[in-house]
Amino acid sequence: MNNHSHYPVLSLDDICSLHDEALRQQFFENKNKIESKSDFKKKNFKLIRCLETECCYLQRELQIRENRKITHAKYMARQVRHPGFNRRPRFTGHN
């Protein structure tokens, strides 16, 4: 964790290493903290800013993982229909 303005913020490396469920949980915890502290925005400005930044990083990682799952599912569906599709020719050592 980085220490940004006295508030702990997960680094990008920490975020990337979280399991999917922990990532979602952290995102929603931060979102709830932001909403609960919004009444005291001036007083908690630095904390809210750190939480919002971290929420952006968490949300982006969630999007990346979701897009990766969708792309992988499409690839696998294509492989089932067309085995060998997108496969590179094997190098036999003969030219």
Per the listing, tokens 């980085």 go with: 2
Closest CA to 65 of 27, 19, 33, 30: 19
Q: How confident is the model at residue 24 (pLDDT cuts 50, 70, 90)?
A: very high
What is the pTM for the complete model shown?
0.71
Question: pLDDT for 25-70, tens place per residue?
Answer: 999 999 998 888 766 666 778 888 889 999 999 999 999 999 999 9
Check pLDDT > 50 for residue 4.
Answer: no
Number of domains in the chain: 1
- To the nearest 10°, report the CA torsion of 25, 31, 32, 36: 160
Q: Which domain holds residue 7?
A: 2-81
Per the listing, tokens 């903290």 go with: 33
**Do the Cβ atoms of 31 and 49 come closer than 8 Å?**
no
